[in-house]
Structures are given as structure tokens and as C-alpha cells.
Amino acid sequence: QRKNPFSNDERMASKPLHTHRGDSTYGRPPEGSQTEQRGKDAHSHVGKEVEELCSIIRRTGEVGEDGQVRVTFGQLFETYVTISNKVVGILLRARKHGLVHFEGEMLWQGKDDGVVITLL
């Protein structure tokens, strides 16, 4: 609509055309928008799921000699799948935040059931 010569919408003309890398608003939704709020809500929801995952590992895992709690992926999957079908994605997010450790890039049901997940 910005380039439409027949448009009388002044709101469109006042917005910047593009942001560039390095700008503080680059890649972010406008402040106060519904998109920004949905992103904040999603971030909060995933954070709660990561907390739930860690508590399940703490409850179902076994404490090693070093004091760290460990559980196999197969055992965790069987326990956590009843709560959420996104267990692998939540595990990856928890690893990104330094809460858990496991070998490999991705875990697959059946193939990686013996992989040990350590709660950090």
C-alpha cells in the first residue's frame, strides 16, 4: 500500500520501509503488538515445559556417585510422552539453556532409548 498512488492511508506512510541488521528492532515484532505478546506467551509456556521436564528427570532418574541425576531417553520418553508429545524439542531447549546434557544432536524413539540424559 505504500507504493499505491491511490492509497490515502497515512498510517502506512509513517512506518519505516525496512529495518536493517544492526538496528535494535531488526527481526522483532513492533512493541505492543499482538505478535510480540504471542511470542512472550510462547516463551513463558516453553519455560514451564522445561521446568516440568527437569522435575520429571529428578523424580524418575537415579542419582549417581557424583550426585547428578541420570535417566535414559527411553525411560524419560515413556514417562513424559503422557504429558507432552514434544519431549525431544523440550530436551533440546533444556540443553541449549545448560540444564541437561546428552550425546548426539537429536534423539529418536527406539534408536536412542539407551542414551543417558544427565540433569545439570
Task: Give residue-wise pLDDT tens across range 10-41.
Answer: 555 445 556 778 888 888 888 888 999 999 99
Question: Which of 108, 57, 103 is closest to 83 using CA atoms?
Answer: 57
Cα separation, 34 vs 40, in Å, equals: 10
Q: How many domains does the chain have?
A: 1
How confident is the model at residue 8, as a pLDDT? Answer: 64
| Comparison of pLDDT for 79 and 63, the residue scoring more | 63
Cα–chain center distance at 18: 28
Residue 10 lies in a domain: no
Q: Spell out a b/e string for 28-41, using b for 16 or more CB atoms within 10 Å of the CB, else e.
A: eeeeeeeeeeeeee
CATH number of the domain bearing residue 112: 1.10.10.1540
15 in a structural domain: no
CA distances from 34 to 29, 44, 71 (A): 9, 15, 39
Q: Which residue has the higher pLDDT, 59 or 4?
A: 59
Residue 119 CB contacts under 8 Å (≥ 6 apart), including other chains: 54, 57, 58, 61, 68, 69, 70, 71, 99, 100
Residue 78 counted as domain residue: yes
The verdict on residue 100 lying in a domain is yes
Residue 73's domain comprises: 34-119
Q: Is residue 42 part of a domain?
A: yes
Q: Which of 112, 107, 83 is nearest to 95 (CA)?
A: 107
What burial class does residue 71 get, using C-beta atoms within 10 Å of its C-beta: 0-12 exposed, 13-18 middle, 19+ buried? buried
